[in-house]
Amino acid sequence: MRESKTVLILIFLFTLLPGYTFGDFSYSAYVNVRYNSNICLLSKEEKEDFLNGDTTFGIETYDDMVTRVSITPKYYYRVGDCKLSSRFTVRYRSFLINNVKNDVLFSLEQRSYIKKLSIYLIYTYSPEVKVKKYHSYELSGERVWFSYALNKFEASVRYSILESFDIKAGCKSYIKYYNKQFLEYDCTEYVPFVRLTYSVRNVAFGAGYSFKLSDARGYDTIGETSGTSSDDPDNSFEENQYMFSLDLTPLKKVCISADYKYFERFYTSDKHPSVDPLHRFRKNEAHRIDAGITYHISGRISLSLDYTYYRTIANSPVISEMDDKKGYNYQRFGIRTSLVR
């Protein structure tokens, strides 16, 4: 798997060659300061344990102020009738109190524009994303950080059917390598998606659907398999996602956006409930609402306010109080300053 990842990265880097024409350089950057009410996605039970004095979570507070800083150099050029742009993004995320969760992300993107057709190729890498501290049965139930290295690939096309109507479709692939205490969670995820957008005057309506197939390793010892021979949990699942959006431009310099997403996840573990009670027959439902308003101070500088609400509801016939154990919610709201040159 790691060898194939290296090959894909080399292929992607090869597509970034600027061709035979010279172009223009540009860049964009932003600073986003945002409050997050639940930085580790703690469930009801975990919050109660934390508030009752459990010091094994590795954090000082379960909420925090989070600052994200991003810069993206861009290079625009042409190859024949095709317009292209190559972009490289570095994004750093910093937590005011719980800086153990600080992380960095890198992204390479290639865009091609041919008349009404746009093609996007994106590779994203983060060396470590810390989620929360879980009990590790490899260490007699001691809480250790549940973290992973992220590799994400995306290929998509966008086509303008009419002046006011376009369609975007593609596929994303996530490859996650977890830390040594949770090797059974290593996974590959495939997400084909489609989105339709209709624009009329200063209003745009959007609707989309995606399907996520997550194939987890399900074992952590040489000689085991992901089947019933392993006594480790199997986090594999299938997920439907439905999305609806509305964008308004009531004034020349003001943009208002609202999005709603509904997630329906079915865990596909075939292990006996006594071996994998947290995943066998489990179903998650989730709702996410995003809203924002952007004011364009000038042609290059904009100021935005954003809000997010997310709620996951977990159900299972194996554990009646599954939502207390695995359900969670959070709210985020913040301010963002963007610069485009």
Mapped to the 3 state alphabet, what secondary structure does 139-200 carry? Answer: HCCEEEEEEEEEEEEEEEEEEEEECCEEEEEEEEEEEEEECHHHHHHCEEEEEEEEEEEEEE
Residue 244: what residue type? F
Residue 326: enclosing H or E segment and its boundaries? helix 322-326
Beta-bridge partners for 83: 78, 113
| Low-confidence spans in the chain with pLDDT less than 50 | 7, 11, 14, 18-20
Q: Quick one: 171 exposed, middle or buried, by C-beta within 10 A (0-12, 13-18, 19+)?
A: middle
Confirm whether pTM is higher than 0.85. yes
Residue 127: what residue type? P
CATH number for the domain spanning 50: value is: 2.40.160.40
How large is the C-alpha radius of gyration of the chain?
Answer: 22
Closest CA to 244 of 262, 263, 259: 259
Task: Extract the tokens encoding 6.
Answer: 């290296």
Distance CA 308, CA 277 (A): 31
Q: Which position has the token pair 């001691």?
A: 142
Containing structural domain, residue 24: 2-340
Determine how β-strand 301-315 pairs with β-strand 142-162: unpaired
Q: Which alpha helices (DSSP H) does 15-63 contain, by range?
A: 44-51
Give the alpha-carbon dihedral of 210, 211, 215, 216, to 10 degrees. 60
pLDDT of residue 228: 54
Under DSSP, is residue 222 helix (H, G, I), strand (E, B) or coil? Answer: coil
pLDDT of residue 230: 73
HSE (side-chain half, CA atoms, 13 Å) at 190 = 3
pLDDT of residue 132: 96
Determine how β-strand 117-136 pairs with β-strand 64-79: unpaired
Give me the number of domains the chain comprises. 1
SS3 content of the chain, % helix, strand, coil (to 5): 10, 60, 30
